Amino acid sequence: MITTTRCKVGELALENPFLLAPLAGVTDAPFRRLCREQGAAMVYSEMVSGKGLWYGDKKTEQLLRLYEDEKPVAFQIFGKEPEIMAFAAKILDGRENAVFDINMGCPVPKIVKNGEGSALLRDPDLAGRLVEAAVSETRKPVTVKMRIGWNAADSCAGAAETAKILEAAGASAIAVHGRTREQYYSGKADWNAIRLVKEAVGIPVIGNGDVKTGEDAVRMLAETGCDFVMIARGAIGNPWIFRDALALYRREAKPAPPSTHERIDMLLRHLGMLIAEKSERSAILEMRKHAAWYFKGVRGSSVLRGKINAVTTASELRSLLTEFHTL
């Protein structure tokens, strides 16, 4: 274990500085467990609705299911009403998550149009009140995931000012995606803006954006001075990115890329976890997208993906993968 003073969120000590980002439709419990196994120090839930908690929505509850081998976990909550954020923090204070994270970065129109997610960047005072409300109702660290601004005009300096407001409101750490809301996921993440946020606040800063390899993760630490690196799309189909980042962080040799056998084994283990969570049919349908990610760049994978999209049972998928491995 290589915990250092830099690897803390509030009083929560983490094993290393590499975290799995919250990703809608991806970071469910099975995927989080696989990433923890590969070295992620903390993993985030999919985005959870504060109103869903308020109204006792069953689907919301399903998103909050945790397993012992995935801890520590941060629950990410989205909303715009301080009273609902306070209620969510109070409810989750008794749950097994280690961190309560507030989403201020989601760029999706249906979230933004409701004044939530990255829309909160346009109202820093409300953003601060949301943090204060959560902090008042939980003993756990309250953190925020934000973008560097709504558009290019208010990025960099604006991000630093917003971060100061969130720090003053009681946030224990701030994750900064180096893109504006208008960028969505296009263009290049501005790591310099992350550095400016780090220089502006005294709490830990988590860098996020364009971390596609283990080398990128270590380089972000060096170039921005951030305390943690949050890996998002770079982990999809590639939980091994945490293994690679950790080895390089420890100044060890980077592991060899996962073999086809390792990819198949990981996919099948992932499938087994999904089946334990839901019906076999639902698990198979979900694994179709994961299979495309797991085998991206592997020779013959385009034909394999087409065949996988036609299977309807776990046994058919296992047989197909066994056949592919022997080719």
Domain ranges of the chain: 8-249, 260-326
- Alpha carbons 216 and 238: distance in angstroms, whole number: 14
Q: Residue 41 corresponds to which amino acid?
A: A
Q: Residue 6 corresponds to which amino acid?
A: R
pLDDT bucket at 156, cuts 50 / 70 / 90: low
- Alpha carbons 258 and 238: distance in angstroms, whole number: 9
Percentage of residues of the chain with pLDDT beyond 70: 96
Q: Please give the CATH topology (third level) of the domain spanning 8-249.
A: TIM Barrel (3.20.20)
Architecture, CATH, for domain 260-326: Orthogonal Bundle (1.10)
Instruction: Express each pLDDT in 268-326 by its tens digit.
Output: 999 999 999 889 999 999 998 999 899 988 888 888 888 988 999 999 999 998 888 76
Of the two residues 1 and 222, the one the predictor is more confident about is 222
Tally of CB atoms within 10 A around 315: 10
Pair of tokens at residue 147: 């973008």
Query: Is the fold of 8-249 the same as that of 260-326?
Result: no
Q: What is the pTM of this model?
A: 0.94
Q: What is the pLDDT of residue 158?
A: 86
Q: What is the pLDDT of residue 153?
A: 74
Catalytic residue among 7, 35, 106, 156: 106
Q: What is the pLDDT of residue 324?
A: 82
- Alpha carbons 219 and 226: distance in angstroms, whole number: 10
Residue pair 145/177 in contact by the 8 Å Cβ criterion: yes
User: Does 226 qualify as catalytic in the annotation?
Assistant: no
Strand partners, 175: 145, 206
Q: What is the pLDDT of residue 323?
A: 84
C-alpha distances (whole Å) from 222 to each of 8, 45, 146, 255, 277 are 18, 27, 21, 21, 39
